[in-house]
Amino acid sequence: MTIQLYDLCGADIDLRFSPHCWKTRLSFLHKGLDFETTPVPFTKVATIEGGDSRKVPVIRDGEKIVEDSYEIAKYLDAQYPDAPSLFKGEGGEAITAHIVNWSQTQLHPAVTQLCLMDIYNELAPNDQVFFRTTREKLFGCTLEEFDAKFPKTRENLEKTLFPLELTLKKQKFIGGESPLFADYVVFGALQWLRTTCTHDVLPHDSKVADWFDTLLDMYDGAGRKAKCVSQG
Ligand SMILES: N[C@@H](CCC(=O)N[C@@H](CS)C(=O)NCC(=O)O)C(=O)O
């Protein structure tokens, strides 16, 4: 049966930039599961599948609805144990929780500093109002004031990614010889940047850049083919 993925979109419904939805997309591809996506703009996310405070990704698998990219990955491994595992066991699952926390608290802020206004500029007018209101409350300043604080260079991002750079000097993926959900967690953050950012700030000339390129090309180039703002 085809699984439904509710996936965040911009004013252009083909612009799919949510880091968390990318984690789920690659989880499906990793496990070889059939899925289709429904584009959802910011102002429609909360009410997906009759909810009132949802966040994407949300999936519907038959009668089952699951929310949160990490919960979805755990659900898929439990529900489809014969397909390749996303965690390779209890230890893998526990270590991935740490990667999620690192990504969320270190990498996501570094990415936000580079592409906040680029995201805003790609939203439909009513979604821009939602995005501005919610994010300005979070940051305690206007989007423009937040954006002006940060140079649009790759320096801080590369510093944040340095532990991963060291890891990838010794192994092909965070998961070892082949990628696991932990790889997709970090991939999601960089794909968020790649799809939205109008500045040339992605990692380059590094192990992280090579690893990201490899993941972009996997699964028939699903990541590589994604619509990007900078490409028009
Ligand atoms: N922990 C969640 C985070 C989900 C999340 O923050 N999703 C964002 C889009 S990337 C969202 O739904 N935002 C809607 C909103 O801000 O109300 C996960 O990993 O799935």
DSSP the chain: -PEEEEEE--SSTT----HHHHHHHHHHHHHT--EEEEEE-HHHHTTGGG-SS--S-EEEETTEEEESHHHHHHHHHHH-TTSPPSSSSHHHHHHHHHHHHHIIIIIHHHHHHHHHHHHHHTS-HHHHHHHHHHHHHHHTS-HHHHHHTS-SSSHHHHHHTHHHHHHHHH-SBTTBSS--HHHHHHHHHHHHHHHH--SS-S--SSHHHHHHHHHHHHHHHTTTTS--GGG-
Residue 230 pLDDT: 80
CA max distance for the chain: 50
Quick one: which of 19, 27, 68 has its CA closest to 48? 68
- 45 close to ligand 1 (CB < 6 Angstrom): yes
* Nearest residue (CA) to ligand 1, atom 18: 68
**Percent of the chain whose predicted confidence (pLDDT) is above 90:** 98
Fold assignment, 90-227: Glutathione S-transferase Yfyf (Class Pi); Chain A, domain 2 (1.20.1050)
Write the pLDDT tens digit of every residue in 75-108: 999 999 999 999 999 999 999 999 999 999 999 9
Fold assignment, 3-79: Glutaredoxin (3.40.30)
- Is the pLDDT reported for residue 232 higher than 80? no
- Is the pLDDT reported for residue 154 higher than 80? yes
Enumerate the β-bridge partners of residue 128: none
Cβ(77)–Cβ(70) under 8 Å? no
Write the pLDDT tens digit of every residue in 114-133: 999 999 999 999 999 999 99
Residue 231 pLDDT: 54
Enter the pTM of the model.
0.97
Cα separation, 181 vs 27, whole angstroms? 7
Closest ligand 1 atom to residue 100 Cα is 19
Residue 1 pLDDT: 86
Q: Please tell me the distance between residue 111's alpha carbon and the centre of ligand 1 in angstroms.
A: 15
- 134 close to ligand 1 (CB < 6 Angstrom): yes
Write the pLDDT tens digit of every residue in 22-76: 999 999 999 999 999 999 999 999 999 999 999 999 999 999 999 999 999 999 9
Residue 210 pLDDT: 98
Q: Please tell me the distance between residue 205's alpha carbon and the centre of ligand 1 in angstroms.
A: 31
Residue 74 pLDDT: 98
Closest ligand 1 atom to residue 57 Cα is 20
Domain range annotation of the chain: 3-79, 90-227
Q: Please tell me the distance between residue 177's alpha carbon and the centre of ligand 1 in angstroms.
A: 30
Residue 46 pLDDT: 98
Write the pLDDT tens digit of every residue in 189-203: 999 999 999 999 999
